[in-house]
Chains A and B, each alone.
Chain A
């Protein structure tokens, strides 16, 4: 029999027992629906995390530190093995920055300068973190997307970029229509001001930094009294800067400290007097007076440049930390998560396949005589086998298609519900589910495969029906 005829015959047979065929197919629909929604949740999470990495340049970003450290040792608390830089370790100075900038693949390299400051905007005051940022970073995310105002135009300008989080700390709410809504628990009070962003841009802010009071320190030592924490010999310096921009989307992988921080052009930041020892690298490395930076920020043009650049820098004798390294581990974790989520769907499909086997075997018992007739009028075993096989596959294909639709519907609904719980917190809607093409094709193929496997035994059994017994007139 020609395949077209077999196919038609199979469809007719399924149609004859509509209810049973529909219920059997429903089993596959549910199985595929569960599989698709489960796996699409896994891939959705993976996509969101990976996108977060991309948005925050985590794949193309390196941090260069004076010492080679095994990050795993640090993570596991095994600090004893950390190699303390000695005299042989070259300092991270401007010469090194130039050398790194010259490496193929490197787009930007600059020293990381961060220190705590007190900031005053009019009468409002808050503690925050200042980070030096070269104007050249304006070409890249997230600095290329300053919500209000602009990024720096030169490294020496006396400007500052504020973050929305800092504004919140200053009790200022952006009244712009497109500004993110305030978080839950944000209660307007007398102190809070609601201001449009353009009323802030162009305003001057005062930056206060603490510096060591050499005279006070000397005096304290001369009196034989070590300085107590409450009476540190410090004094404050003030610098006035102009607000040029406001950032609203700090990204998901930035620490809270940085999210609420401010940005200042590199040279301007370097000119601000400040205390040393603001980071662990400054303690481990040499201080700025010796001509070395605590760490360098390096950005490569593409993900594949990361490894060669890292090797080149390590050859110079420096340590490199790339958060992108974690991606491989993340990927393994995602694989495990996908497998677990997929397992639930697979169990549902196994149950569905038992349903198919059950339906087909019942159908063979009912159609034994019909099988005998088909053999008597010239149906070969191959024909009979294919008829049952195609019936099973049809159940699989239909189950797969409607299962995809069900899975898609379920994920859309779940997404709406999940987002309605999250949105009040001021977070933009997130798509928790992602249905990639491979999942669509894979789920369909899997549905057909499972159905065909379920059809193997019934089809073999149907093909082996003895026509003489089947046709025995009783």
Chain B
């Protein structure tokens, strides 16, 4: 089985003045289609950077990322935008919703970027929002939503353009434990039912263990451990 995602000796070094700060030091990872993979690690271990590289928001210093046979290092900025638009969907710890737009409008904006036909954007957005359990909150702005509801909107937005891979960067970091469990369960059910590949980054190892097929531990920019998660079939 060919993996849907493959990173090969991925390196990322940030430059602060004359000082080089290596964040990723040769990360190699294969993720199969439909897998739920969690990257766990302490703050500063490089896990968010890895996700940003896979998401095409940032570019690697060395190494390659191949998604469905396409090499991100060979893509120009326009291709990377298309990659973010159609191949991956991202969710963040701080939700990153547009505060002035309602839940529905946040999702339709993603559909507009995806050049989804204008006529059924609203129905499509409403459909995804009800899939994540927000059918009755679609006309509320992020300020009127709880953290868990906001993250559900973010998940709906990430799924809007039917991506192959959902990239979740500390999706439960800003949520209480009960809501965290709900969000983790939602991601797991999306992975099970919609067959969307999920790559999650978290420092909550218990949750990681509970929902993932596979948990990889990142320390100082390298994978140090891999184990099968509790969510594995």
Give the interface of A toward B (CB within 8 A).
1-2, 4-5, 9, 16, 369-370, 372-383, 467-468, 471, 473
Contacts and interface: CB of A to CB of B under 8 A. Distances in A.
B204 to A, nearest CB: 16
Contact of A378 (B58, B77, B97, B113): B113
Contact of B113 (A4, A370, A379, A467): A379
Top 6 closest A-B pairs, CB basis?
A: A378-B85, A380-B81, A473-B94, A378-B113, A5-B112, A377-B110
Interface string B28-58: 0000000000000000000000001001011
B84 A376 contact: yes
Given A5-B118, A16-B100, A380-B77, A473 B93 contact: yes
Nearest to B160: A377
B78 A377 contact: no
Given A376-B55, A376-B90, A383 B96 contact: no
A273 B113 CA distance: 95
A274 B6 CA distance: 115
A381 B52 CA distance: 17
A373 B112 contact: no
Contacts of B158: 377
A375 B85 CA distance: 9
B64 interface: no
Interface in B127-162: 157-158, 160-161
Contacts of A471: 57, 92, 96
A381 B85 contact: no
A16 B141 CA distance: 14
A378 B57 contact: no
A377 B157 contact: yes
Contacts of B114: 378
Contact of B52 (A9, A369, A468): A468
10 contacts: A9-B109, A16-B100, A372-B96, A373-B96, A375-B81, A376-B96, A377-B109, A377-B110, A377-B158, A378-B161
B98 interface: yes
B115 interface: yes
Nearest to B57: A467
B122 interface: no
A381 B77 contact: yes
A383 B57 contact: no
A334 B85 CA distance: 57
Contacts of A377: 84-85, 89-90, 109-110, 113, 157-158, 160
A374 B58 contact: no
Interface in B58-97: 58, 77-78, 81-82, 84-86, 89-90, 92-94, 96-97
Contacts of B81: 375, 378-381, 383
B84 A9 contact: no
Contacts of A2: 112, 115, 118
A1 B81 CA distance: 11
Given A375-B84, A378-B161, A468-B58, 16 more contacts: A1-B112, A1-B113, A2-B115, A4-B118, A9-B112, A373-B97, A374-B109, A376-B84, A376-B90, A376-B92, A377-B89, A377-B158, A378-B84, A378-B110, A379-B113, A383-B113
A147 to B, nearest CB: 67
A57 B90 CA distance: 78
A155 to B, nearest CB: 80
Nearest to A474: B94
A382 B77 CA distance: 10
Contacts of A9: 109, 112
Nearest to A384: B81
Contacts of A370: 98
A91 to B, nearest CB: 85
B38 to A, nearest CB: 19
Contacts of B78: 380-382
Contacts of A375: 57, 81, 84
Contacts of A473: 92-94
Contacts of B110: 377-378
